[in-house]
Amino acid sequence: MIALFSDQHLLHAPAFEFFRGERVPCFENPARATWVKERLLQRGHEIRAPHTDSRPVLVQVHSARYLAFLENAWRDWLALAPGNGALQPFPSVWPVRTLRSDIEPENFTARLGLYAMDNGSPLSAGTWAAAKAGADAAASAADLLGKGQRAVFCCSRPPGHHAGADFMGGYCFLNNAAVAAQALRNAGHQRVAVLDVDYHHGNGTQSIFYDRADVLFVSLHGDPRTEYPFYLGHADETGAGAGLGFNLNLPLAAGTSVDAWFAALEQACIRITRYSAQALVVSLGLDTFADDPICTFALRADDFQRLGQRLAALGLPTVFVLEGGYAAEALGVNAVQVLDGFEQGN
């Protein structure tokens, strides 16, 4: 399988984040993609660089105001005060209920809070370049499907499925899965399905397509009553307006068994088949792994191969987009298990 990879991901390397009130090394770090790339090469998958500029699609899934902020954020941070290059900016105020978000503040920290759903997406000097390369990979994957490829894997970071049209969050800045889906729509696929199998609900992807019938969003994930992102991902969120009925959430309780997880996957696949999707985007979060530090599910390497086989049975041109997965050394093994299972299932 062709895998798209860019060394630009190395430019996004924040030194730390805050976890349970403590300053800790970032769970989402460059080693994640490096381990995956090494395993891909070992298994004989073809590595290519992204070849498509995602900007025309980015403006279809993200607001112009947000994109401008994100592209210039580090420059603005450096201009704020001497020595900021050695510091990481974090938001400290957010426009919650009754506060206005239509007027962009001049204050940098206030703007950062305007465009962030949490303080869990630390910026660094190369954040925009890395995120843009990931979006370019997603657009390139859609292009390769249009040229006859059965499936393409985007080995990119930072991940994207928590990023909404005008906000970052959960380590995510640009929504790669949404870029892939929109690019497939632009290429003529009338109905595209996005399947999110990350441990955490893809709130950003859901919100981008929530009122649309041309992109079906299906997600199986940890119950948001106890798991991030907490405020979206419930079963009663089924779409709005033209998109009513085209959003399916399958929240699962902490400690859900492997059998129950695959039963939910089967529900998801049945819904995608009923939708008569013409192409599939998989938000391939691998933090459902039993040894992942921020997961309570129990999937093992063989289970990821089974996942790939079931997705192949859908018979759809497929873009895989790497999302979460924070047991870094195992991430490559698990990713390749999915891809190998998919290829065996064809």
**Is 62 noted as a catalytic residue in this protein?**
no
Q: Would you say residue 77 lies in a domain?
A: no
How far from each other are the two terminal CA atoms of the chain, in whole angstroms?
Answer: 12
Q: Would you say residue 11 lies in a domain?
A: yes
CA distance 254 to 338: 23
Q: What is the pLDDT of residue 71?
A: 98
Could you tell me where the DSSP H helices lie in the chain? 31-42, 55-61, 64-80, 108-114, 127-146, 176-186, 203-209, 258-275, 301-312, 328-345
Mean pLDDT by 10 residues, the chain (346 residues): 98 92 91 96 97 98 98 97 94 96 96 96 96 98 98 98 98 98 98 98 98 98 97 98 98 96 98 98 96 91 97 98 93 97 88
The 10s digit of each residue's pLDDT in 228-264 is: 999 999 999 999 999 999 999 999 999 999 999 999 9
Query: Is the four-CA dihedral 316, 319, 324, 326 of positive or negative sign?
Result: positive
Q: Would you say residue 107 lies in a domain?
A: no
DSSP reduced 3-state for 215: strand
Q: Would you say residue 79 lies in a domain?
A: no
DSSP reduced 3-state for 137: helix
CA distance 157 to 180: 15
Q: Would you say residue 259 lies in a domain?
A: yes
The 10s digit of each residue's pLDDT in 196-231 is: 999 999 999 999 999 999 999 999 999 999 999 999
Written as one letter, the residue type at 22 is: E
For 35, phi then psi, to 5°, come to: -60, -40
Q: How many helices and strands in the chain, by DSSP H and E? A: 10, 10
Task: Find, among 197, 37, 215, the residue nearest to 206 by Cα.
Answer: 215
Q: Would you say residue 210 lies in a domain?
A: yes
9 near 130, Cβ under 8 Å? yes
CATH number at residue 226: 3.40.800.20
Structural domain that includes position 327 = 2-64+131-345
Could you please report the per-residue DSSP string of 255-320? T--HHHHHHHHHHHHHHHHHHT-SEEEEEE--TTBTT-TT----B-HHHHHHHHHHHHTT---EEE
From 45, 162, 189, 201, active-site residue: 162
What size, in residues, is the chain?
346
Q: What is the pLDDT of residue 167?
A: 98
Q: Would you say residue 75 lies in a domain?
A: no
DSSP reduced 3-state for 216: strand
Q: Which pairing describes strands 17-19 and 22-24: parallel, antiparallel, or unpaired?
A: antiparallel
Buried b (16+ CB within 10 A) or exposed e, 180-210: bbbbbbeeebebbbbbbbbbbbbbbbbbbbb
CA distance 157 to 159: 5
Q: Would you say residue 288 lies in a domain?
A: yes
The number of domains in the chain is: 1
